[in-house]
Amino acid sequence: MKHINVALFVPHKGCPHMCSFCNQKTISGTSSELTQSDIDEAVRIATSKEYDKENSEIAFFGGSFTAIDRKYMIQLLECAYKYVDSGLFKGIRCSTRPDAIDEEMLEILKNYGVTAIELGAQSMDDEVLSMNDRGHTAEDVVKASQLIKKHGFELGLQMMTGLYGSTPEKDIETAERLISLKPETVRIYPTVVLENTRLATLYRSGDYTPETTEEAVENCSVILDMFNNAGIKVIRLGLHSGGNVEEGFVAGAFHPAFRELCESRIYFDKLKKIIDKEKITGKITIYVCPSEISKMTGQKKSNILLLEQMGVQAGVRGDGRLGKYEPRVVRED
Ligand code: SF4
């Protein structure tokens, strides 16, 4: 049975200022204030079909949930909690800033059925954080993550690549530091420059160049593989299409199938290593986990065509004994 995630947006609520890249109204496609009747209506629609109650959540995204006006935050939590209390959902998830977490807040969240907290870390480089107007430090991410885990919540961390002032090396260091905090889940967003943001101004003045989609795929495929090797679930890779992102897009790495591009890249890089090491040419069969065949093949057979340019003619087959990102090569000549 399908699990559902009732995503409710509180765009920019609680944010002390605007981060360089952020335009939640464009990302979420909503600008009105979330009300209790919006929550009731979203839950009514979501629960009108069969779903897995044990694994479904109500989620507050798009702002700094724990920094919003306390009375309003509690009204929203009370409204959502009645559905958790009646067994329709396993819990509530919220996203917030690392500097808006303390013991008292965690007690409140626990009392209202919050089970998972996601922190917008974005970078673990203090200079990058400052250049992008985040208003918190890497140490704030460490402290908040430790506190969240100590209080028994599921920890989610969000990071961005290609931010103003960042480099692929700094992004990889960020991923390493996030792995050391042992989150249960991660979201990775290559930077997309949106209208009405400071990044758009910096981009137009020539002071900032975002990653191209190709560069972001290269960078994010390495990072995705790192989280995968550490056993950490990447629940999102790349900005969602939808909302008003297409209309607000200025520049950067935005592709509706971004994750698939990264996964195909992981397979190609692993294959290339094997081929180079074993000096393979001619015909081969590549075996992968059966559900991964299309990722190995690549969009429009891109990986197969790249292999051909290296003098290798490859067929791809499924093998249920293989795990994710574990290609096995058999020579056919
Ligand atoms: S704290 Fe989060 S939601 Fe608020 S402006 Fe920054 S990125 Fe956007």
Residues 161, 127, single domain; the answer is yes
- Split at pLDDT 50, 70, 90, the class of 251 is very high
Q: Which of 8, 24, 61 to mutate to test the pocket of ligand 1 (most atoms within 8 A of CB)?
A: 24
Nearest CA to ligand 1 atom 3: 63
Q: Are residues 48 and 186 in the same domain?
A: yes
Q: Give 194-210 pLDDT, tens digit per residue.
A: 999 999 999 999 999 99
- Report the range of poorest mean pLDDT among 10-14, 131-135, 243-247, 252-256: 243-247
Q: Is the CB of 24 under 6 A from ligand 1?
A: yes
> Residue 218: in which H helix or E strand, if any?
helix 213-229
With respect to residue 262, please indicate whether it lies within any of the assigned structural domains.
Answer: no
Determine, yes or no, domain membership for 312.
yes
Pair 290, 190 in one domain: no
- Are 181 and 290 within one domain? no
Task: CATH number of the domain at 87, please.
Answer: 3.20.20.70
Ligand 1 centre from 152 Cα, in Å?
Answer: 25
pLDDT for res 245: 82
- In what helix (H) or strand (E) does residue 79 lie, and over which residues does it extend? helix 70-85
The answer to the question of residue 261 being in a domain is no
| CA 132–ligand 1 middle distance (angstroms) | 11
DSSP-assigned states of every residue in 235-273: EEESPPS-TTHHHHEEEE---TTHHHHHHHHHHHHHHHH
Residues written for the chain: 333
* Same domain as 244, residue 273: no
Maximum distance among all Cα pairs of the chain, rounded to whole angstroms: 71
CA distance 314 to 308: 8
Q: What is the Cα–Cα distance from 38 to 10, expressed in whole angstroms?
A: 11
Nearest Cα to 55, choosing from 96, 119, 115? 115
* Number of structural domains found in the chain: 2
> Structure pTM?
0.94
Residue 77 lies in a domain: yes
**Same domain as 283, residue 235:** no
170/225 same-domain check: yes
Q: Within a domain: residue 297?
A: yes
Q: What residues make up the domain containing 203?
A: 5-256
Domain's final residue, options 256, 286, 312: 256
Average of per-residue pLDDT values in the chain: 95
For residue 117, list its beta bridge partners: 94, 155
Residues 102, 197, single domain; the answer is: yes
Contacts of 216 (CB under 8 A, 6+ apart): 161, 162, 190, 252, 253, 258
Question: Would residue 315 count as lying in a domain?
Answer: yes
Is there an atom of ligand 1 within 6 Å of 15 CB? yes
Q: Which of 124, 162, 166 lies closest to 141 in space, CA to CA?
A: 124
- Residues 26, 67: Cα–Cα separation, whole Å: 21
Ligand 1 centroid to residue 111 C-alpha, Å: 25
Asked whether residue 291 is domain-assigned, the answer is yes
- 234, 256, 278 — which closes off a domain? 256
User: Tens of pLDDT along 31-72?
Assistant: 689 999 999 999 999 999 999 999 999 999 988 999 999 999
Which of 256, 285, 303 finishes a domain?
256
Atom of ligand 1 nearest to the CA of 62: 3
136 vs 170: CA distance, rounded Å? 17
Q: Please check whether residues 249 and 284 belong to one and the same domain.
A: no
Separation of 11 CA from ligand 1 center, angstroms? Answer: 9
Residues 42 and 138 in one domain: yes
Q: Is the CB of 18 under 6 A from ligand 1?
A: yes
Torsion on CA atoms 256, 304, 187, 54, rounded to nearest 10: 90
Which atom of ligand 1 is the closest one to the Cα of 63? 3
In a domain, residue 263? The reply is: no
Whether 275 and 232 map to the same domain: the answer is no
* Probe target for ligand 1 pocket from 25, 68, 97, with the most ligand atoms within 8 Å of CB: 97
For residues 98 and 182, membership in a common domain is answered with yes
Q: Which atom of ligand 1 is nearest to the CA of 14?
A: 4
CATH number of the domain bearing residue 327? 3.40.1260.20
- Whose structure tokens read 């100590």? 150
